[in-house]
């Protein structure tokens, strides 16, 4: 039975008005309830919302694919197979200032058991840890660093290619190295100094150096490989260093006719000298009369080993050498010639031992304290190195003795000896000397030793 929609009173069939409240009876509607149409704004809202959901789903899928490290590793593997160096490096972070030859680097990766490195790379991205992981080969050499970084709601993985540190050692000053269009300058000698970073490959290095006695230009080829300890490059510029043989250490050295403004004592040694240097050296000394004396010109290229001679007075007709020398057996005032000769021979024996032991004290008792001989020999022996070289004295002949007075003797000797270098080379010496001996409290002492002539072989 129908009821009034206003008061709820029952209505009889055919009644169009309610007898209880008087309101018109509601019409009966058949079928579904009619819904009002959506407005344009509502339609646009629903459209935007749907598109956003689609974009979010699609974006999530795309980001997931782009950030998936396995996808990156697969792309790297494909690049190795196809020998696509550019495609391989596109998936890596590479140090910008490092030396890199792309094709050679990819070949090195491929021939370094890429399959094993690839598996270790995959394992590194699945490891449950936050810090960076280093991927190495079977020998412990680092190839890649796997870096895990947050990106929005995701984890982003980066693969950094590990370069090798190149160290340089050079004994020369003012050196310059050029490689891969980069120039590296060093003012002083360096030992295992960092030169650059390099990825495995073959690189050509051009080196230059400047010195007091000439310049160098050298080229080296380096085969760089992965290594945690780096690559050591020794810049072996070829040169020689010579000692100085002189009887006037205060003389000034000249190089190709130009004064160095340094005495031979200040120079100490000649070098480093380039192997192909065209040098002419001499020294100049002003004697007591103010006259400038010059040593003979010497060319380092003419001397294979040992000291360069800068000797003075060799061409003069020394009054002592012009005199009629008394034989060794002749008696002199005080009868000391024989003892003087024996003293010099004893000194030579001690001197050989002193040179080979680098011990100046062995000859010190033979020298007059504060004399030129004592100063020169002490300075010379102080410069000897413990390098394995040695001296072998062969003969010591006293050819003349001049007793100037009963306390002063001049002895002329001819001495031969062999210098054995640390590198196995030997030099024969035939030398003429003059010794000045004085009696001090009845005992001989050497006051001065002058080298008159030297022949080398």
Quickly list DSSP for 419-437. Answer: EE-TTS-EEEEEEEEEEEE
The pLDDT tens digits for 240-263 are 888 899 999 999 999 999 999 999
The pLDDT tens digits for 410-432 are 999 999 999 988 888 888 989 99
Model's pTM, two decimal places?
Answer: 0.56
Q: Which helix (H) or strand (E) holds 366?
A: none
Report percent pLDDT > 90 for the chain. Answer: 54
Residue 318: pLDDT band with limits 50, 70, 90: very low
The pLDDT tens digits for 269-316 are 999 999 888 899 999 999 888 899 999 999 987 775 568 999 987 655
**How far is 354 from 380, CA to CA, in rounded Å?**
12
pLDDT of residue 333: 37
**How far is 74 from 386, CA to CA, in rounded Å?**
61
**Average pLDDT in the 79-100 region?**
94
Cα angle 380, 383, 387; round to 5:
125
**Average pLDDT in the 323-338 region?**
46
pLDDT of residue 323: 44
The pLDDT tens digits for 112-147 are 999 999 999 998 887 766 678 899 999 899 999 998
Asked whether the predicted pLDDT for residue 354 surpasses 60, the reply is yes
pLDDT of residue 257: 93
Domain definitions of the chain by residue range: 66-161, 164-234, 241-310, 325-456
pLDDT of residue 270: 92
Mean pLDDT in the chain?
Answer: 84
Asked whether the predicted pLDDT for residue 213 surpasses 80, the reply is yes
pLDDT of residue 253: 96
pLDDT of residue 315: 53
pLDDT of residue 422: 82
Asked whether the predicted pLDDT for residue 149 surpasses 70, the reply is no
Asked whether the predicted pLDDT for residue 19 surpasses 80, the reply is no
Q: Is the CATH code 2.40.37.10 the one for domain 325-456?
A: no
DSSP per position, 386-429: -SS-EEEEEEEEEEEEEEEETTEEEEEEEEEEEEE-TTS-EEEE
């Amino acid at each position: 039975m129908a009821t009034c929609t206003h008061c709820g009173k029952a209505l009889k069939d055919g009644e169009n008005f309610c007898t209880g409240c008087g309101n018109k009876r509601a019409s009966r509607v058949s079928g579904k309830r009619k819904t009002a149409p959506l407005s344009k704004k509502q339609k646009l809202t629903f459209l935007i919302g749907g598109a956003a959901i689609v974009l979010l789903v699609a974006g999530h899928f795309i980001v997931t694919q782009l950030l998936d490290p396995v996808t990156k590793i697969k792309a790297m593997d494909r690049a190795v197979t196809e020998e696509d160096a550019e495609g391989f490096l596109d998936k890596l972070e590479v140090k910008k200032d490092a030396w890199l030859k792309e094709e050679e680097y990819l070949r090195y990766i491929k021939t370094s058991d890429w399959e094993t490195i690839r598996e270790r790379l995959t394992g590194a991205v699945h490891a449950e840890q936050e810090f960076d992981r280093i991927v190495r080969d079977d020998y412990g050499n680092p190839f890649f660093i796997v870096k895990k970084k947050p990106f929005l709601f995701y984890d982003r993985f980066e693969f950094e290619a590990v370069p090798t540190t190149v160290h340089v050692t050079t004994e020369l000053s003012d050196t310059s190295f050029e490689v891969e269009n980069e120039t590296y300058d060093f003012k002083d000698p360096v030992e295992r100094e960092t030169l650059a970073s390099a990825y495995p490959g073959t690189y050509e290095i051009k080196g230059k150096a400047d010195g007091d006695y000439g310049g160098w230009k050298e080229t080296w080829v380096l085969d760089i490989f992965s290594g945690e300890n780096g690559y050591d490059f020794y810049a072996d510029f070829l040169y020689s260093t010579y000692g100085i043989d002189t009887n006037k250490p205060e003389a000034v050295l000249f190089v190709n006719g130009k004064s160095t403004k340094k005495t031979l004592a200040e120079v100490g040694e000649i070098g480093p000298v380039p192997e192909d240097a065209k040098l002419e050296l001499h020294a100049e000394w002003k004697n007591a009369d103010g006259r400038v004396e010059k040593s003979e010109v010497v060319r380092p290229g003419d001397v294979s080993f040992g000291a360069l001679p800068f000797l003075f007075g060799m061409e003069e007709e020394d009054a002592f050498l012009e005199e009629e020398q008394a034989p060794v057996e002749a008696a002199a005032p005080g009868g000391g010639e024989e003892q003087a000769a024996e003293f010099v021979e004893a000194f030579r024996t001690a001197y050989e031992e002193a040179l080979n032991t680098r011990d100046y004290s062995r000859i010190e008792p033979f020298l007059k304290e504060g004399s030129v001989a004592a100063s020169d020999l002490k300075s010379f022996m102080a410069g000897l190195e413990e390098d394995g070289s040695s001296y072998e004295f062969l003969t010591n002949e006293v050819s003349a003795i001049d007793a100037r007075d009963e306390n002063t003797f001049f002895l002329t000797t001819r001495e031969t000896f062999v210098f054995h270098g640390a590198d196995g080379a030997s030099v024969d010496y035939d030398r003429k000397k003059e010794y000045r001996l004085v009696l001090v409290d009845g005992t001989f002492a050497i006051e001065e030793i002058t080298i008159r002539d030297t022949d080398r072989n």
